């Protein structure tokens, strides 16, 4: 399904026809170097960057989409995948396919989105908590707000800065959808990524350079190519047949694979998320996420300095990415994508309720 290329991009294996060719055609159209359509040019801002297709030398018939790893810049990436829209089946789906999709989450039409999985770094325990798609399907109208709020909780506090920044980014995507009638999206998702380490937040707020946030050790592949290790790679080595296998830890890769059967259900079952302990660095000591018992005379002035006396744009500049992913069911249209718009608006409402309450 998903591999990590040595240059830091991710490789998403092309699905069988018609889904794979349709997704490739979508990326090719949006990222065409001759594209002068303002609607598509703006859409690029909300997608992972696309670097064409790639095939391993030993298996030239295996085709992969080469995409930006959105998690690469993060130290402790927290990741959530949310399918958007009232329908997770396309207009050409068979009655059997429609029934299959509806039965997975009957509330999809009413709620307009479905949480497919999340992975949250908890500062308090220096570990990750993961939830799979069964968690999302268990959410009801009454519990969906609390269910999503888990993604924004650090173990100490609710990251309202991340919620606010996420709302802003979704609103930009909604604005794009409100202004276009070229494309309709089905079974497509939003990928949320934010920095779970409060240490990084503290560094940013004090305007210290982030260049020293992470050292990147280097290694060599057997073929002599330089390999950069980052937070997304646990193991990478050459196999006997020359293919590269990657054990992907904290990156985008597992979340692409989480809700995709890829070429078979076997891929889906093999790529499961698990809680992993990360190295101890005591970042919580410098956290700006202060619990109630710490709100004494010494801390309050610091909080006021950080949160009340900085420009508004700084308050809302949490390190957050929200990108559209999965385009195997994108079709030309002459009308607005009302199903996707409905889902975005509902998701914004839920996030706003989390923020307000």
The per-residue pLDDT for 357 is 86
Ranges of each domain in the chain: 1-69, 70-198+318-356
Q: What is the mean pLDDT of residues 180-191?
A: 98
The per-residue pLDDT for 199 is 59
Which of 111, 4, 8 has its CA nearest to residue 64?
Answer: 4
Q: Are 181 and 333 spatial neighbours (Cβ–Cβ below 8 Å)? A: yes
DSSP string over 97-113: HHHHHHHH-TTHHHH-E
pTM across the whole model = 0.71
Q: What pLDDT digit, counting tens, does each position of 294-335 carry?
A: 433 444 334 333 333 333 443 445 899 999 999 999 999 999
Protein fold of 70-198+318-356: D-amino Acid Aminotransferase; Chain A, domain 1 (3.30.470)
Q: Are 165 and 296 spatial neighbours (Cβ–Cβ below 8 Å)? A: no
pLDDT cut 90: percent of the chain above it? 64
Q: What pLDDT digit, counting tens, does each position of 94-143 carry?
A: 999 999 999 999 999 999 999 999 999 999 999 999 999 999 999 999 99
Looking at every residue in the chain, the average pLDDT score rounds to 77
- Residue 348 CA to residue 68 CA, distance in Å, equals 26
Q: What pLDDT digit, counting tens, does each position of 5-45 carry?
A: 999 999 999 999 999 999 999 999 999 999 999 999 999 99
Helix (H, G, I), strand (E, B) or coil at 224: coil
Per-residue pLDDT band for 269 (boundaries 50, 70, 90) equals: very low
Q: Are 253 and 272 spatial neighbours (Cβ–Cβ below 8 Å)? A: no
Q: What pLDDT digit, counting tens, does each position of 219-229 carry?
A: 333 333 333 33
Which of 240, 241, 237 has its CA nearest to residue 220?
Answer: 237
The per-residue pLDDT for 210 is 40
Per-residue pLDDT band for 265 (boundaries 50, 70, 90) equals: very low
Q: Are 9 and 70 spatial neighbours (Cβ–Cβ below 8 Å)? A: no
Count Cβ atoms below 10 Å from residue 20 Cβ, excluding itself: 18
The per-residue pLDDT for 1 is 56
């Amino acid at each position: 399904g998903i591999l990590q290329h040595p240059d830091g991009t991710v490789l998403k294996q092309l699905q069988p026809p018609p889904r794979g060719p349709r997704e490739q055609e979508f990326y090719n159209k949006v990222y065409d170097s001759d594209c002068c359509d303002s609607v598509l040019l703006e859409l690029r801002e909300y997608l992972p960057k696309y670097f064409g297709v790639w095939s391993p030398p030993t298996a030239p018939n295996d085709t992969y989409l080469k995409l930006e790893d959105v998690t690469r810049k993060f130290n402790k990436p927290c990741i959530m995948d949310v399918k958007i829209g009232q329908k997770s089946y396309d207009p050409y789906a068979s009655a059997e396919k429609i029934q299959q999709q509806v039965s997975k989450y009957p509330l999809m039409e009413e709620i307009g989105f479905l949480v497919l999985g999340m992975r949250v770094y908890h500062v308090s325990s220096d570990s990750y908590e993961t939830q799979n798609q069964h968690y999302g399907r268990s959410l009801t109208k009454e519990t969906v707000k609390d269910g999503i709020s888990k993604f924004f909780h650090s173990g100490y506090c609710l990251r309202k800065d991340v919620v606010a920044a996420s709302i802003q980014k979704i609103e930009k995507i909604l604005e794009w959808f409100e202004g276009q009638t070229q494309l309709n999206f089905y079974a497509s998702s939003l990928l949320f990524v934010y920095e779970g380490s409060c240490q990084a937040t503290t560094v940013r707020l004090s305007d210290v350079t982030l260049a020293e946030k992470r050292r990147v050790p280097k290694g060599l592949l057997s073929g002599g190519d330089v390999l950069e290790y980052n937070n997304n790679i646990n193991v990478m080595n050459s196999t006997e047949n020359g293919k590269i296998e990657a054990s992907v830890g904290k990156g985008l890769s597992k979340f692409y694979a989480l809700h995709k059967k890829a070429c078979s259900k076997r891929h889906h079952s093999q790529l499961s998320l698990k809680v992993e302990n990360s190295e101890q660095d005591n970042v919580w000591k410098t956290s700006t996420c202060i619990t109630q018992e710490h709100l004494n005379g010494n801390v309050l002035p610091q909080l006021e300095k950080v949160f009340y006396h900085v420009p508004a744009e700084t308050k809302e500049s949490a390190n957050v990415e929200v990108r559209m992913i999965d385009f195997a069911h994108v079709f030309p249209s002459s009308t607005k994508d009302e199903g996707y718009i409905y889902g975005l608006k509902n998701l914004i409402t839920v996030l706003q309720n989390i923020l307000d309450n």
